[in-house]
Amino acid sequence: YDGVSYGERAEDAADLVEMMTKTRSQYLGEEVKRRIMIGNYALSAGYYDAYYLKALKVRRLVKEDYDKAFKEVDVIICPAAPSVAYKIGEKIDNPLEMYLQDACTVPLNLAGLPGISVPCGYNKDKMPIGMQIIGKALDEETLIRVAYTYEQSQSYHQDRAQLGGK
């Protein structure tokens, strides 16, 4: 995200570097900034071998596991998150809780696989539950067909979210 090609852009900058700096400061949320900083730290001198190279090895293992699974099935259905949605702003001051919400989506991103999340119900407090459908690499057609077929068999996608719960 450079503030040039996509999204909002700061207009009152003297040059490109200032424009990108102001854009990122003004339009990126705290969670995004936090993740960028962690990524930069992990790639900085002295940490490249410790983190990045190990992460590449883990990525390869994750991809191999998915490749094995897709020899048996066309899609994988699993939760979109480890818990139901929480109220807007409820976890904003808890970075660890925010990171944990990615636990179900990070593996397919590491493996370079397409995924889609569709609504599939509610908990007792009427907070939405998401179902993730993961497809084979370059097989978005099957993924979208499965998601569409599921949505047509249910009515969850027609409901308006109760943003505060209950």
Give domain limits for the chain. 1-44, 61-158
Burial 111-133 (b: 16+ CB within 10 A, else e): bebbbbebbbebeeeebbbbbbb
The per-residue pLDDT for range 91-147, each reduced to its tens digit, is 778 878 877 888 899 999 989 999 999 999 888 888 889 999 999 999 999 999 999
Q: Rounded CA gap, 110 and 121, in Å?
A: 27
| pTM recorded for the entire structure | 0.71
Q: Which pair of tokens denotes residue 152?
A: 């047509």
**113 or 83, higher pLDDT:** 113
Residue entry with tokens 């889609």: 116
